[in-house]
């Protein structure tokens, strides 16, 4: 069976995991998340490349560069979830299967967090499972791609 190549994109402030609002996001770091995602990928037959940026344009460019290189995308657009038509358009342009993931249960949070532009271009959204949400997103993509 062919090993899947997945791009895992993380948006602004995820580099601050372990420091930023630990009551919402937990005490584990971004490095812990990267290690967790790579391990989950291996278990599910996927190679996961991770990318994080606080800059919208860099996220858009990385999505565009995924075309012809990756089989699918796991994306946590973070705050750009609720504001970025550019990320939505990039996901639609490359037309790779994508799953949106959020560490927190955004549906239980502020009203402005209830809109997800990126989610409009994704197969599913996984939210509120912490790091485990990334494993679930990889599983969903692997199942959809096989």
Q: Catalytic residues, which ones?
A: 25, 102
Question: Are the CB atoms for 9 and 81 separated by under 8 Å?
Answer: no
CA distances in angstroms from 79 to 87, 114, 141, listed in the order given: 12, 11, 23
Residues 6 or more apart whose CB falls under 8 angstroms from that of 19 comprise none
């Amino acid at each position: 069976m062919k090993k899947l190549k997945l791009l895992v994109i993380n948006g602004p402030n995820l580099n601050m995991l372990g420091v930023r609002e630990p009551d919402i996001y937990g005490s584990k770091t971004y490095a812990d998340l990267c290690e967790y995602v790579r391990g989950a990928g291996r278990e599910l037959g996927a190679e996961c490349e991770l990318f994080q940026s606080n800059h919208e344009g860099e996220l858009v460019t990385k999505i565009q560069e995924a075309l012809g290189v990756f089989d699918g995308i796991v994306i946590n657009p973070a705050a750009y979830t609720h504001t970025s038509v550019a990320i939505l358009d990039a996901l639609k342009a490359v037309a790779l299967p994508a799953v949106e993931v959020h560490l927190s249960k955004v549906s239980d949070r502020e009203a402005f967090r209830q809109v997800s532009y990126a989610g409009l271009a994704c197969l599913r959204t996984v939210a509120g499972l912490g790091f485990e949400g990334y494993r679930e997103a990889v599983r969903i993509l692997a199942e959809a791609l096989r």
